[in-house]
Structures are given as C-alpha cells and as structure tokens.
Amino acid sequence: MKEDNCIFCKIANGEIPSATVYEDEDFRVILDMGPASKGHGLILPKHHFKDLCEADEKVAAKLFPLAGKIGHAMKTGLGASGFNVVQNNGASAGQTVFHLHVHVIPRYEGGPVMVSWTPGKEDGKELERTAEIIKDALHMQNGDDIT
C-alpha cells in the first residue's frame, strides 16, 4: 500500500527516479541524496510502513539479510572496509522521512566512523529495574499474563 504525499513511496515504486542499486518485489535500494559517505544506501520497502513498529514481520525479516548483501557489495565494489546499518524510528531518534527505511553506510579506512554516544553510568539494580519495565511492556504487547 502506498501513502499519498510520501516521497519514499513514490521513489520505492518508481514514480520518482532514483539512483537504484537493487530492486525486487518488496524493496528498492537507492543512494541517499545527502550521503554520510560515498555509496550511502537506503533500503526502502515498497509498502508504506511508518517505522519498524508498524512493519509487516515478513518484510522486516528480510531487511537485515538485504542490508548484509548491500554492505558486502559496498566492500567489494567500492572498496569500503566496513559499513554501518542504521535505522531511525521517530523524530527523537533522528527519523526525518516517515516511511520505514534502513541506512547502509559504507566506511573507508581513515574516514570518519559513525557518530557514537558517550557511555553513561548505571548501577546493576537500575539496569534490572529498567529491564523489568521493558519485559512487562513486552508481555503486555504479546497479551501474556503477567504474574
């Protein structure tokens, strides 16, 4: 299903031309117009999902294997020595286009690495408490009985 006014729906379904590196019945992989490095790719599902939480599981299950294949081709084809797989969900996580997509960013020797976070400090008890909250939320999602 496509959504009106979604730029990635139009690109994924070929209504707007793009530098395409791969296409199958579920996906189109294009080059990002504002690349973090040479060859920065975007995996676009042809179906519109806002983000990973909305995605069909069958489509979602194909994303990682495809990202691996694209990344491998960046290494053999472009001479990248590594790559990052990045996927943003929600504006607070940096998502700017609200059609699910996966970034595959080739990295080169001597080039910049992915912007990383500054590790915080959390004691074991706090980690346990946080883990419990997420575990409970998962049970609720799955409709499990919580005891």
Catalytic residues: 101
How many CB atoms are closer than 10 A to CB 115? 7
Among 47, 48, 103, 107, binds Zn ion (CB under 5 A): 48
Say whether residue 3 binds Zn ion (CB under 5 A).
Answer: yes
C-beta nearest to ligand 5GP: residue: 34
| Region binding Zn ion by CB under 5 A among candidate stretches 1-9, 64-72, 77-85, 118-126 | 1-9
Number of shown-chain residues binding ligand 5GP (CB under 6 A) = 12
Say whether residue 7 binds ligand 5GP (CB under 6 A).
Answer: yes
Nearer to ligand 5GP, 117 or 142 (CB): 117
Judged by the rule CB under 6 A, the positions of this chain that interact with ligand 5GP are 7, 18, 30, 32-34, 42, 88, 94-97
